[in-house]
Each structure stands twice: as C-alpha cells, then as structure tokens.
Amino acid sequence: MRRGEASFAQSPGWRYCCEQAAYVLRHYWPDALSISQHEADKRFAAEECAMYLTGTWSIQTLLTIAPQRRLGIFPYPNRAGDARLIYEPNITFMIGARSQERALVEEMLAALASDPELAERVFQFTQTDSMLKGIEPGTLQILRDDIDGCRAESDMLDVTIGNSQLVWQYQYNCAERTLAWLKGQGTLEEALAYADEHHAESGAVAH
C-alpha cells in the first residue's frame, strides 16, 4: 500500500469487509450505532437477539446479568471459509522515560510477569487469559471449548499484527469515515479514497 502497489479503493476484500459491516447493521437493532456496549450486552443477555458482534470482554457483564445463559463464540464467516478468531494482549505496561521511581516500577512489573497467584487474580477479575507461560487458564470456562478448539486448529489471529503495521490513529480516522458512510453520510468510495489519500500516515514516523 505504501509503495502504491495496492489500495483500499481497488481492494475487493476490503470493500467486501465494509459491505459486511453494512449487512450486519441492516439485520441488527435500529439503534445499533447509538447504544453502548453495556446496553448491547444487556439486550443479548435478555435474549433479544440470537447472536451479536462482541468479544470476551463482554463475558463478565453477561455472566453477571444472566449466569444461567449458555454462550459460544466463533469468528465472523468470510468468503473463503477460513475465518479465524482474533485475539490481542489486553493490558500493556510501560515505564516513563523520565520516571523518578524506575526501580520500584521495574519491581512491580517483575511481579506482574512472574507471580502466578497475582496473575490468577488478575485474569479471574478481568475474565481474560494470562499470557504467562505455565499458567493454566482458569477463566472464560463458558467459552473454553470454542477457544481451545480454534487454538488447536491454528484458527486464531493476533490482531497486533495489524496494529504494528497501521498506526492506531490512522485506523481510527479511516474507521470514522467508514462509520459516516454506514450512517448514510457520504459514500463508501469517499471513505476508501480517504484511506488511500492518507496512506502516508499509516506508518510510524521516526523522530
């Protein structure tokens, strides 16, 4: 894309992706673009829909509202039939370059990266999995078979691959244009053209 050999406007795959977003909205609640994630979780828990687009971050809310519900998770189907679950690290820690408490921060980070009991408490509370080696997942039990099945079949995709290639602000700006189209403001062609015209902003700039 940065070399001008590919573009959003000329990509059948990306156009199809946008069209699928429009398809979902046509078959979703009329106010889907104005409600919060929590409201969507509440409606799903109340069986106001058979399925909805979300991720494991909704599990804690769903199990609090409707602990009796049976849930499953699967990737949104693609044209090739080989769609994969997307996963990403949930929490990232960094040290300030000018931190006056560097030794203390490093000690805290070391504890987070090595204390199995602490890791267990964190991912039980957040309903996520730990990325520390040697720790057996004790969370997301209601989805465990689905997740482990995808992992065993290598049907999982690390979303950080895309985030490392396209900086977040560029993704956000492109998403805003696509959302405007989904709301009936402007055309898909304009949204795709924006992504192409600003492609120089997609990579990190060295300082």
Spell out the domain ranges in the chain.
81-157
Count of residues making up the chain: 207
Whether 59 contacts 127, CB under 8 Å = yes
Whether the pLDDT of residue 89 is over 50: the answer is: yes
Helical spans, DSSP H, in 81-159: 102-114, 116-126, 144-152
pLDDT in tens, 9-59: 999 999 999 999 999 999 999 999 999 999 999 999 999 999 998 888 888
Helical spans, DSSP H, in 46-187: 59-65, 102-114, 116-126, 144-152, 160-165, 168-182
pLDDT in tens, 105-123: 999 888 888 888 888 887 7
Higher confidence at residue 194 or residue 125? 194
Structure token digits, residue 199: 């492609």
Report the C-alpha gap between 191 and 172 in whole angstroms. Answer: 12
Residue 48, CB-side half-sphere exposure with 13 Å CA sphere: 12
pTM of the model: 0.74
pLDDT in tens, 53-68: 888 888 878 888 888 8
